[in-house]
Amino acid sequence: MIHYFEGQLGHAFVIIAFVSSMLSAYAYFKGRNQDTEWTAFGSKIFYVHSFAVIGIIGTLFYLITNHYFEYHYVYSHSSKILPIYYQISCFWEGQEGSFLLWMFWNAVLGIILINTNKFWKAPVMFVMALTQVFLSSMILGVVVLDIKLGSSPFMLLREVIDAPIFKTNPNFIPEDGNGLNPLLQNYWMVIHPPTLFLGFATTVIPFAYCIGGLIIGKNKEWIRPALPWAQFSAMILGVGILMGAYWAYETLNFGGYWNWDPVENAIYVPWLVLVAAIHVMIAYKKSGAALKMSLILVVASFILVLYATFLTRSGILGNSSVHSFTDLGLSGQLLIYLLVFLALSIFMIAKRWKDIPTSKEETSTYSREFWIFMGAATLCLMAFQVLAGTSIPVYNKIAESLGFELNMAPATDTFTAYSLPQLLLSIILAILSGTGQFFWWKKMDSKKLKAELTTPFVISLVISGLVIALAQISDPYYLILLIACTYSIVANAKIFIGVAKSNINLSGGSITHIGIAMMLVGILFSSGYSTILSTNYTSMVWSSEFPEEVNRDNLLLFINEPRQMKEYSMIYRGIRKDTREEGFVDQNDLIPTTNPLKVVRKGSADTLTLINPENSYFEVEYHTEEGKQFTLFPRVQINTAMDMIVYSPDIKRKLSADMYTHVRTFPDPDQEPDWSDPKEIKVTIGDQFFINDYVANLERMEPISEIDGTPLSAGDVAVKAVIRVQGEYQNYDAEPIFLIRNQEFVGRIDDQVNDLAFRISIQNILPHENAVVLAYQTTQKDWIIMEAVKKPWINLLWIGTFLLVIGFVVAIRRRYLEFVKMRDKGVEA
């Protein structure tokens, strides 16, 4: 039965959200000059809008959790076997869900703004409501004058897919859905997208204060209320970016956490510009300089978020990104969304440009403003350098629309295109972040500067020298970056100690700068000095389809055969399934049932529950020279509905380094093994013999009354041979069956021991000789090709991230308390 009502309810909520956002935007615009009636009306309508957004989300969640696969969105992104936390991830896997998530955060933030600042309510909420108009239009799913507006998550499957089944049976409902993309089945994907979209949503708030201020003629007063929100936005967006990096590190198998993917770049660029904006906003609050630059950078950060949205959701990136969405026909709407806000920004800036105050004082090299502007310029240059390369598909599309072809290809050498330029600019940034802090807190001249910098500079050289000697760093770029980052850490630590003694609330900047420098050192070591432990020293080529570096950096491991790898001895133990009751269990010991989530352990009636039947884990034991041992379980996920095979690493974490292990390939589980010709052998009970070079013993012959849980029929007789085989590390029992009906042979059921790569059957029973004729066949042992990488001091990256967040929290708290204090004094603007 098709559940029409739920979809119609969800679509009604979408229409209400769209209409109410337009009404709210109009009311707030009318009330922009402190018209309380229009402002109050706008707030009431925005609450209606927020209720409708929650209604859309609740309805879609209801459809997903109840497995209503008659709906295209539910069918495309979920399945019955997904645990509840991955069903949550299904919500934002598609474009419609991600827009909904963005709308939700905008609604939450809008309600907060409505209740925090009466003076700015109307002009700021006008911009907030206007963004909701465009976001709501993205999920409308209606056609007006042959123009499609949005893509609704409440479309029925038969309305989207033109399949023959719907012509013969319009009410056909699939038994199950395609499931969640294997790449997204990671706990970080439950928290990373909401965090990232909260970051996206918060970028509109400083933009709204800026544009709202220009609309009502408060060309400079917007800085104070916008600054804490800009800092909050930079913190959340930065954390969201780094969560994505950690997800890539844990889930993807390219061996790192940042791959200069166009989608990664598109989010990284507005964050850099936003951080630059924060610095110049702080400079304006201190000295009254750089108001125009603050305005331009705040606007640019939000416009770049919209540009990132266009890149990732318009389909313009094509296959150049693993993260981008396919085009749902929304590219025109996305472009209009971008151009409207760009046009609004240009219009308001141009209208107020002459009225925006500027500082006429000449900036000295010994002033804090000079060093802040240098830092902001460096951040903007870093952003532009990445943006220029990332936008190559856009250049090609523009040229195509103008009637000619550029055929520019995205960079394949990402180190030269991105890593090296960013490294060089990071050196400048580290030096500026260390030196500029001294100018911020003290008036400087050449003598004072020399006195302040001498101690941190000397300490930095000593520490850097020791690290360089111990870590054997020889690359000149890395040498300079290490020295610059060490200097930044030491200099900011000195500032922190001095500031914290008087007022800890003033230490946010120094803590943040220490965190950034530590992150850069962590990136330096983990990326620049990773060690391939699984180097292939043989001349064997594992696959002609693999690039040269894959054949060079990966090892072949046969099951239960030790393999030396640098200071480790490795043993591949086989494929495991993750069960709720017993953890990892050998898949050869499990029997499938009709329920894909349930399996039965061989030799018992125990039923186990699989965490995810699509996942299989390769158990790899590591033994150190000191006698220590640990086990890693790199994963493969096979989604037949999506025709996807995804390999994910497992990581052994230590303070000084991570052991990063992932499987490159393994035998196709759907391909029948290439068995040898049968070899017969006659044995009696108690005899020892060899199977595939393993010692075997016929323990006993015993009658059985059922086969695979099915009782035998009257007149049937079945006999089972119990054969004990000594493997490398454990014994295995093979139990082939010989079936007789009406005193005549009718069948043989062989038994297979996968770990030892053989199968065995009973060919004949010789009662007069008290013997049995066995036949066995052998095949290639199970194997994997895997890579192991040692990533030194990667934890400095994550520790630096933690310090970055702490620094932002301290700074946000300080700026917000300043804002509240001024507001309570009656200084609303």
Tell me: the pLDDT tens digits for 718-737? 889 999 999 888 899 999 99
What's the pLDDT score for residue 399?
A: 85
Q: Are 493 and 513 in contact (CB under 8 A)?
A: no
Of all residues in the chain, what percent carry a pLDDT higher than 70?
Answer: 95
Q: Which tens digit of pLDDT belongs to each residue from 29-47?
A: 999 888 889 999 999 999 9
**What DSSP line would sit under 702-747, residue for residue?**
EEESEETTEEPPTTEEEEEEEEEEE-SSSEEEE--EEEEETTEEEE
Cα angle 789-792-798, degrees, rounded to a multiple of 5: 110
Across 393-412, average pLDDT: 83
Q: Which tens digit of pLDDT belongs to each residue from 510-564?
A: 899 999 999 999 999 998 888 888 888 887 777 777 778 888 888 999 999 998 8
Residue 417 is given by DSSP the state I
For 255, the enclosing helix (H) or strand (E) is: none
Give CA–CA dist 794/658, Å, rounded: 7
Q: Which tens digit of pLDDT belongs to each residue from 254-274?
A: 777 888 888 889 899 999 999
Distance of CA 251 to the CA centre of its chain: 8
State in Å, rounded, how far the first CA of the chain is from the last one: 58
Across 182-211, average pLDDT: 91
The candidate with the shortest Cα–Cα distance to 304, out of 425, 231, 210, 203, is 203
What's the pLDDT score for residue 256?
A: 79
Alpha-carbon torsion, ordered 786, 791, 794, 795, to 10 deg: 80
For 197, the enclosing helix (H) or strand (E) is: helix 188-215
Give CA–CA dist 72/77, Å, rounded: 9
Give CA–CA dist 227/815, Å, rounded: 7
Task: Encode burial over 788-803: b for 16+ CB neighbours within 10 A, e otherwise.
Answer: bbbbbbbbbbbbbbeb
Look at 294-298, 408-412, 620-624 and tell me which has the smallest mean pLDDT: 408-412
Tokens in use for 178? Answer: 């395609």
Across 428-446, average pLDDT: 78
The sign one gets for the Cα dihedral 592, 615, 562, 651 is negative
What's the pLDDT score for residue 716?
A: 83
Give CA–CA dist 206/223, Å, rounded: 8
- Single-letter amino acid, residue 769: E
> 382 CB contacts (<8 Å, ≥6 apart)?
272, 422, 425, 426, 429
Give CA–CA dist 372/355, Å, rounded: 24
pLDDT at 486 over 80: yes
> 277 CB contacts (<8 Å, ≥6 apart)?
206, 230, 294, 297, 298, 300, 301, 376
Give CA–CA dist 135/338, Å, rounded: 12
Between the CA of residue 117 and those of 111, 124, 212, 356, what are the distances in Å? 11, 10, 13, 23
Look at 149-163, 509-523, 737-751, 804-818 and tell me which has the smallest mean pLDDT: 737-751
- Three-state DSSP at 761 gives strand
Phi-psi category of residue 827: left, alpha or beta, with phi > 0 → left and psi -120 to 50 → alpha? beta
Q: What is the CA radius of gyration of the chain?
A: 33
The candidate with the shortest Cα–Cα distance to 302, out of 264, 342, 259, is 342
**What DSSP line would sit under 26-89, residue for residue?**
HHHHHTTTT-HHHHHHHHHHHHHHHHHHHHHHHHHHHHHHTT-TTBHHHHHH--TTS-HHHHHH
| Residue 634 pLDDT grade (very low, low, confident, very high; cuts 50, 70, 90) | very high
Distance of CA 554 to the CA centre of its chain: 25
The candidate with the shortest Cα–Cα distance to 813, out of 512, 514, 505, 509, is 505
